[in-house]
Chains A and B, each alone.
Chain A
Amino acid sequence: DTEVTQTPKHLVMGMTNKKSLKCEQHMGHRAMYWYKQKAKKPPELMFVYSYEKLSINESVPSRFSPECPNSSLLNLHLHALQPEDSALYLCASSQDWTGGGEQYFGPGTRLTVT
């Protein structure tokens, strides 16, 4: 089973709202990732968690706040977003971060900021 689940599938939020995206995997993977993808572009890495610790923050604005409550769950808290933050937000997981192995992506949350 290589399933990564994400909720919600779609989210519309105003610039003053606070919302959270959720991601879950039950493959025993120890690395989890958040990516942002705009139309016709490849995914851009935002954050890497390895063994539940934040290992990489790709200079993401503080209005995006990641959290890893346990080894299976990854959240992305959103606050005071801008319309240009509208995109597909993808979660991914891999066996570990250092091994260079395959990453498996969830279906994504399509976010629209109004």
Chain B
Amino acid sequence: RKEVEQDPGPFNVPEGATVAFNCTYSNSASQSFFWYRQDCRKEPKLLMSVYSSGNEDGRFTAQLNRASQYISLLIRDSKLSDSATYLCVVNSPYNQGGKLIFGQGTELSVKP
């Protein structure tokens, strides 16, 4: 089982649609959780950190369920500029290496 698993893509949605990405992680001791977006041939950029209480930033909402080891990202009213690959990222505990573990990424294409 992969340490971080994401929905396989690509997701092709029309402008204005709501799209949800899901992610599961295998290490219950993981300590922090993130969503990054990566545009083609660019670096990953931090989109949101994910907290147990859930957090929202404009059109983006992230949720964490530690009991189910599940992370989600909801994008409302999607824009053409949201087209990118979304990476679910989990930080392993320091005593287990303290490394970022990346999912394989989910590609989103928003069409006019």
**Chain A interface extent, by class:** 20 to 34
Q: Collect the chain B residues with CB atoms within 8 Å of residue A56's CB.
A: 97, 99
Chain A at the B interface: SS class: loop
Q: Are A42 and B105 in contact (CB under 8 A)?
A: yes
Collect the chain A residues with CB atoms within 8 Å of residue B57's CB.
none
Restricting to B93-112, which residues have a CB under 8 Å from any CB of A?
93-94, 97-100, 102-105
Do residues A42 and B104 form an inter-chain contact, with CB atoms below 8 A? Answer: yes
> Are A100's CB and B105's CB within 8 A?
no
Residues of B within 8 A of A98 (CB): 94, 98
Among A45, A102, A107, the residue within 8 A (CB) of B49 is A102
Q: Which residue of A lies closest to B97 (CB)?
A: A56
Closest to B102 in A: A42
Q: Which one of B45, B98, B103 contacts A100 once the chains associate, using CB atoms below 8 Å?
A: B98
Q: Which residues of B contact A97 (CB under 8 A)?
A: 94, 98
Min CB–CB distance A111 → chain B (angstroms): 13
Most buried by A among B34, B41, B100: B100
Do A43 and B44 touch (CB < 8 A)?
yes
Interface contact A100-B91, CB-CB below 8 Å:
yes
CB-CB < 8 A to A66: which residues of B? Answer: none
Residue of A nearest to B91 (CB): A100
Closest to A41 in B: B104
New contact pairs (10) apart from A100-B91, A107-B43, A108-B43, CB-CB < 8 Å: A42-B102, A42-B103, A45-B99, A48-B99, A56-B99, A90-B43, A97-B98, A105-B43, A105-B44, A106-B43
